[in-house]
Chains A and B, each alone.
Chain A
């Protein structure tokens, strides 16, 4: 009998891989350390996703349901991690933290990322002032239906600042990567805020804007032309308070002039860190990490989704900052490559 494929992580990449395998009748074992499936979009309560505009609970929730319907072929273990992993391609065995021992022909690591912890950038006020929040918190304000409010007293903000590149592209704190999606997500959130609170002014402080590819029209230009979001090219030095409002001092570098603006709410557009468990994951599965701490990818142009260990594949933000739709694509790619190990073609059999 064909061995199942072990999938670690039930976010967009892992869910995509499990479903792709189920569609071709391939068994898989889906393990997630959280108590429910869905990964960051569900666990962190994202609101409307880029670029579809669908609510995360519908879009990713739909992926979770789809996998639940595939229960004949997908053996789901939530609240579970992989304790040990050994063997060779075609015949791996793993021990799970819930005590079960499983055998697998291949493994797909879809272990995702960890949100940057803004406490590591103390000069920007997070943890000091209650009205300094992260993009994740704003997502939650919107997805919960409560709306964007100042945490200190629940008032509607009249002026919001979004600071880009918090925990990204910052050598000082060892994060020398672009988290890729925060510019687009921030433009999206800014528009959401303006839609809910038309009287509220939204400023985005940026170093560069990377609303890559087709996001240029829908997010970069639309946010400025239709929603009148103000972009200031400046990285601010610190967030302070006058006891009433948050004070953000910057220099508009394009016109070479200082700008000090009082804000009601300051939002950190937090980046993607490597999963905090990556060292343990690397050790358990015997796969190498790349210099930033993400799981290292093998061949870029030949077999998709390779790690440094044959038979163990990787997909999604485990390999570096990744968008949801690309993670899903990579989940499919990893499923395809893993399938070639457990179900070799007739020609080569």
Chain B
């Protein structure tokens, strides 16, 4: 039988042989192309719940695979392999290995939210994309993305001081992502600010960068926010089974055998 949709078959599963005789029948050459049967045995049945436990992924269960998200997608128009509809399908079935093949493009979502607006089921596909990238990072499949690091630096500062001070944010961000502080665009921007901003404002900004302003009586709010963030983090770790992984790693490091 001819293979109509060769694109649906992984190239490594297409087999043909220069010289092959099976039970006395010559099956050589491309007239006898075989498809290696694919048996999926490693379903992660918890995967949908894992994604649903992360911010943005909560409504993934509503999807009915109409494809509106993919058809509306800004990134898909440039790269057809960027396919939110397909990934939602894989997550709901628990086909983790299949999803991991695309781990290096999932983060490319530009959050334009066209999918969110068009989705007839209110799945919030943009949120799901965010949850997916987050999931890949938490599970250690991809390194932390610069945007995730930026979010962390930003949130840390707000939680600690109750304020956001851009100079410090950018310093910390550059430090954590291993970037030089002196960047052409930044220098240009600072020059522009020096030229155009009023002196008073510039002085206040400079002071801010030097001595990290805080919101007054912030301690109680900070404690409450930190408690909430810890709870959320613990909940996510539990849902993703990360505690077990961390525990196992610790045991490995200590040299004790697994239970």
Partner of B85, one of A123, A171, A236, A253: A253
Question: When each residue 37-63 of chain A gets 1 if its CB lies under 8 Å from chain B and 0 otherwise, what string results?
Answer: 000000000000000000000000000
Partner of A171, one of B71, B72, B76, B121: B121
Given contacts A172-B118, A258-B76, contact A237 B71 (CB under 8 A): yes
Chain B residues with Cβ under 8 A from A165's Cβ?
120
Partner of A235, one of B7, B71, B83, B122: B71
Most chain-A Cβ atoms within 10 A of its Cβ — which of B65, B117, B119? B65
A196 to chain B, nearest CB (A): 30
Report how many A-B pairs have Cβ atoms within 8 Å. 62
Chain A residues with Cβ under 8 A from B5's Cβ?
255
Asked if B86 is an interface residue, CB under 8 A from chain A, the answer is yes
Partner of A236, one of B71, B80, B114, B122: B71
Given contacts A207-B64, A256-B8, A257-B7, contact A172 B122 (CB under 8 A): yes
Q: Which of A207-232 contact B (CB under 8 A)?
A: 207-208
For chain B, the count of residues having a C-beta within 8 Å of the partner chain is 23
Given contacts A253-B85, A256-B86, A258-B80, contact A235 B67 (CB under 8 A): yes
Closest to A168 in B: B120
Asked if A159 is an interface residue, CB under 8 A from chain B, the answer is no
Asked if A156 is an interface residue, CB under 8 A from chain B, the answer is no
Given contacts A170-B120, A172-B117, A172-B122, contact A251 B8 (CB under 8 A): no
A229 to chain B, nearest CB (A): 19
Chain A residues with Cβ under 8 A from B8's Cβ?
255-256
Please measure, in the bound complex, the distance between the C-alpha atom of A255 and the C-alpha atom of B4, giving whole angstroms. 11
Please measure, in the bound complex, the distance between the C-alpha atom of A253 and the C-alpha atom of B76, giving whole angstroms. 13
Chain A residues with Cβ under 8 A from B76's Cβ?
251, 258
Please measure, in the bound complex, the distance between the C-alpha atom of A249 and the C-alpha atom of B83, giving whole angstroms. 14
Q: Is the CB of B121 within 8 A of A250?
A: no
Partner of B83, one of A171, A234, A237, A251: A251
Chain A positions near chain B (C-beta within 8 angstroms): 123, 165, 169-172, 207-208, 233-238, 249-251, 253, 255-258
* Interface CB pairs A-B, < 8 A, 24: A165-B120, A171-B119, A171-B120, A171-B122, A172-B117, A207-B66, A207-B120, A208-B64, A233-B67, A235-B66, A235-B71, A235-B120, A236-B71, A237-B68, A237-B71, A237-B72, A237-B114, A250-B67, A251-B85, A253-B66, A253-B67, A255-B5, A256-B83, A256-B86
Known: A235-B66, A235-B120, A257-B80; 17 extra A-B contacts, CB below 8 A, are: A169-B120, A170-B120, A208-B64, A234-B67, A236-B71, A237-B68, A238-B72, A250-B67, A251-B71, A251-B83, A251-B85, A253-B67, A253-B70, A253-B85, A253-B86, A255-B5, A255-B8
Chain B positions near chain A (C-beta within 8 angstroms): 5, 7-8, 64-68, 70-72, 76, 80, 83, 85-86, 114, 117-122
